Amino acid sequence: MTRSPSSAGSSGPERIRAAINAAVEYARQADDPRVEPVHLLRGVLDAPAGVAATVRTEYGWQIPPARVAQPRYPLATGIFTPGARRIVAEDALVVAERLGHRALTTGHVLIAILEHPGEHASEIVGSLPELRELTAAVIDALPSEEDT
């Protein structure tokens, strides 16, 4: 796989922040009071740019439509479940460290979610290629240390 400019690490933190903000919005749309790993997964996979977007586009993965409810929580709380908080605050960093990367990208977050998806992400995870293939594709799309 060829790395596209959209996967360059220079704006990785901004892309992760955008994916997290999208996750909060998905939680609100689903009328869930807390952000869960499934919302993070949607936020990362729906990102318009970054490592996860590069891999999703390259492989033509389709994401099942999100559940939308009439919101009772018009302002999403932004409170993360323990699993979602662990993915963002710890697991993505562990993945980056394991791969020898200093810069964090949406690809690292995606791998962390796939390794610890939580119960509600199974529909989406089940629609993606198997974990080893997906992880290999994400690793291939990650920027090299010279690019970060």
**85 residue type, one letter:** R
C-alpha count within 13 angstroms, C-beta hemisphere, residue 62: 2
Q: Is residue 131 part of a domain?
A: yes
pTM for this structure? 0.77
Number of domains in the chain: 1
Tracing tokens 């974990």 back to the chain, one arrives at: 131
Query: pLDDT tens, 5-41?
Result: 344 444 778 889 999 999 998 888 888 888 999 899 9
Query: Which of 131, 121, 130 minimizes the C-alpha distance to 37?
Result: 121
Task: State pLDDT tens for residues 87-100.
Answer: 999 999 999 999 88
The answer to whether position 61 is within a domain reads: yes
Residue 86 lies in a domain: yes
